[in-house]
Amino acid sequence: MVKKPVFYSENTKISPFWRGHLFLFDTPRSVNYSPQQGNRLLWVFILMEFFIRPLILFVSRRVGISHHHWWLACNIAILVFLSYFLVRILAGIKVSRLGLYPWGNWSKIEKLYFAQIIPITIFIFSIINFTSLRALSGRPDLFEIVFLTLIPQVIWGAYQEFLYRGILQTELVRRWGAFRGILASNLVFTFGSLHAYHFLIAEKNPAHLWIFVAIFGIGLFFSVLFRRSGNLWLIGILHGLGDMFIDGLSGLS
């Protein structure tokens, strides 16, 4: 009988209520696909991040719609649809195999962790952003803001996790193992095209470069959580909430 790794929940007597906080999830489902499908997954990532997203941004600016309040929601909807389509059609892989499996397939530990960490996250961010939230609650266009700015920010954060953890990390871990795969994918997440605009900001304010430490640290947390749990919904929603409170509210203010 093969002994299971000590960091998974099967080898501990800690209550399932606390195991998620210690990353003691059940052994994740194995990701089984061919090397050819893995190559196509990488092509999906490259196409979406280095061609399609910049192209959509360029076209939206050329036709003069990038500044409209509704464009954020439309842009994210297009990216989500195209990424899902390419993974299913080009790579031939179901998104459930990349961590987006239904609630009924979640383990008890995953459900308990989700039920705790999401309210905790919302509470902490709400305390930090109390002044902004109070001002937002009195705005006459609150309904429009929620559906065209805040909810799209949640989806945007989840999309990033699908691309960088669900696609890129999954394939690099399959190729190189957990340590090198996580490190490489998180370095791309931190210093790649997604956050490259911070280098432009740092030209006028060199101290701004410290933000890459925070991006790398947060990305590493999401990477390890995904590796331990195999659940992309967890990190996607957490990332989305962060984007909603940080980028969404700051953009409004």
> pLDDT of 126-170, one tens digit each?
999 999 999 998 889 899 999 999 999 999 999 999 999 999 999
Close Cβ partners of 168 (under 8 Å, ≥ 6 residues apart): 42, 45, 185, 188, 189
In this prediction, residue 231 carries a pLDDT of: 97
What is the token pair recorded at 90? 């080009």
173 and 181 Cβ atoms separated by less than 8 Å: yes
In this prediction, residue 208 carries a pLDDT of: 94
pLDDT reading at 125 higher than 80: yes
Question: Of 168, 178, 182, 188, which is closest to residue 39 (Cα–Cα)?
Answer: 168
In this prediction, residue 158 carries a pLDDT of: 98
In this prediction, residue 133 carries a pLDDT of: 92
pLDDT cut 70: percent of the chain above it = 95
Amino acid at 161: E
Query: Is residue 83 classed as helix, strand or coil in its secondary structure?
Result: helix
Residue recorded with tokens 């749990």: 229
What is the token pair recorded at 251? 């953009």
What is the token pair recorded at 201? 């900001």
pLDDT reading at 4 higher than 80: no
Question: Of 99, 101, 106, 110, which is closest to residue 19 (Cα–Cα)?
Answer: 110
Q: What is the CA radius of gyration of the chain?
A: 19
Per residue in 162-221, pLDDT tens? 999 999 999 999 999 999 999 999 999 999 999 999 999 999 999 999 999 999 999 999
What is the token pair recorded at 76? 């994210």
Band of residue 10 on the pLDDT scale cut at 50, 70, 90: low
Beta strand segments in the chain, E:
none
What are the boundaries of each domain within the chain? 29-252
226 and 232 Cβ atoms separated by less than 8 Å: yes
In this prediction, residue 3 carries a pLDDT of: 46
pLDDT reading at 2 higher than 50: no
183 and 175 Cβ atoms separated by less than 8 Å: no
In this prediction, residue 8 carries a pLDDT of: 62
In this prediction, residue 6 carries a pLDDT of: 53
